[in-house]
């Protein structure tokens, strides 16, 4: 058998390949116009933070939005929106919890008795749970479903991309020295899985001085512009470190954050209606 390229269609060895994974489908009660995956090449760059702000911005503009928290072992979306109740099912569907503005959220944390209980599972079980979130959750009618991906490009992320191929992908990164290697790996993964890359968001790019309003580069000057020219991706925007926004996330008030940078990204790159 030849080496697997993770493209099952048209492959003569697909039936014998261990990587062959059945594609997930939404149930008959759910209609989703666009699915966008948010990925980071490593943890700690604010992927879930960006996902929460993107969802909030879209919701404020009148769109129906859902978040599928695929970061099963490190879920943080419920806390960002102050969700404490558990999800429930009726034997046919699992019902997501809605935030105060109506964003539908499904996360592994919503199935636990205690939010700080760990999920110690191997990759196939994690992928199976994410597939269940995709297929069995009553999403209803959504304009956008954002998938908060697990960090990295390992087994769980690969399985998610194979089972639930999003329409588009956003990569979140930070201005640290290893960014070129990390972004390059994430870009190659998107290309390998034939997923359209919407672009890259650099988070924690700078801090704005409260007095002179000039940017302060805590991590040194970013090389993302040079990397953009080298690799040819779209740089969607640069996000500053905003202490007040971080505080609101900790309080579960993601929907109270106003981010002009996120609004610009949503208006220019995500919303299709011009």
Write the pLDDT tens digit of every residue in 170-191: 999 988 756 777 788 888 888 8
As a whole-number percent, the residues of the chain with pLDDT over 90 amount to 50
Question: pLDDT for 128-171, tens place per residue?
Answer: 888 889 899 999 999 999 999 887 766 667 777 887 778 999 99
pLDDT at 42: 79
Q: Mean pLDDT, to the nearest integer, of 37-50? A: 89
Q: Mean pLDDT, to the nearest integer, of 49-53? A: 97
Token reading at 47: 């992927």
Query: In the structure, what pLDDT confidence band is assigned to residue 1 with cuts at 50, 70 and 90?
Result: very low
To the nearest 10°, the Cα dihedral for 181, 182, 184, 189?
140
pLDDT at 10: 46
Q: Which of 202, 269, 272, 208 is nearest to 239 (CA)?
A: 202
Q: How many CB atoms sit inside 10 A of residue 273's CB?
A: 4
pLDDT at 41: 77
Question: pLDDT for 100-110, tens place per residue?
Answer: 999 999 998 89
Q: What is residue 93's three-state secondary structure? A: coil
Which range has the top average pLDDT, 26-40, 147-161, 179-193, 214-228?
26-40
Question: pLDDT for 65-112, tens place per residue?
Answer: 999 998 887 789 999 999 999 999 998 999 999 999 999 999 988 987
Token reading at 213: 């309003």
Of 4-8, 110-114, 118-122, the range with the lowest mean pLDDT is 4-8
Query: In the structure, what pLDDT confidence band is assigned to residue 274 with cuts at 50, 70 and 90?
Result: very low
Does residue 103 contact residue 66 with C-beta atoms inside 8 Å? yes
Of 19-28, 55-64, 111-120, 237-246, the range with the lowest mean pLDDT is 111-120
Rounded CA-CA distance 207/190 in Å is: 30
pLDDT surpasses 60 at 64: yes
């Amino acid at each position: 058998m030849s080496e697997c390229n993770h493209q099952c269609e048209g492959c003569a060895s697909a039936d014998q390949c261990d990587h062959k994974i059945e594609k997930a489908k939404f149930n008959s009660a759910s209609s989703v116009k666009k699915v966008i995956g948010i990925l980071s090449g490593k943890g700690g760059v604010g992927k879930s933070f960006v996902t929460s702000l993107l969802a909030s911005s879209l919701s404020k503009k009148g769109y129906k939005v859902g978040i599928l928290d695929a970061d099963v072992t490190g879920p943080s979306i419920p806390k960002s929106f102050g969700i404490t109740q558990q999800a429930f099912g009726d034997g046919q569907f699992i019902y997501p919890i809605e935030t105060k503005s109506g964003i539908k959220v499904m996360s592994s944390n919503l199935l636990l008795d205690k939010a700080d209980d760990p999920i110690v599972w191997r990759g196939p079980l994690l992928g199976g749970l994410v597939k269940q979130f995709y297929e069995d959750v009553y999403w209803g009618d959504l304009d956008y479903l954002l998938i908060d991906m697990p960090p990295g490009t390992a087994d769980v992320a690969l399985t998610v991309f194979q089972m639930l191929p999003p329409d588009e992908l956003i990569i979140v990164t930070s201005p640290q020295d290893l960014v070129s290697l990390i972004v390059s790996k994430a870009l190659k993964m998107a290309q390998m899985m034939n997923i359209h890359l919407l672009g890259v968001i650099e988070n924690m790019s700078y801090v704005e001085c409260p007095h002179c309003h000039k940017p302060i580069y805590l991590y040194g000057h970013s090389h993302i512009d040079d990397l953009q020219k080298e690799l040819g991706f779209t740089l969607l925007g640069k996000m500053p470190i905003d202490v007040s926004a971080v505080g609101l996330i900790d309080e579960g008030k993601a929907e109270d954050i106003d981010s002009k940078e996120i609004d610009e990204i949503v208006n220019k790159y995500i919303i299709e209606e011009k």
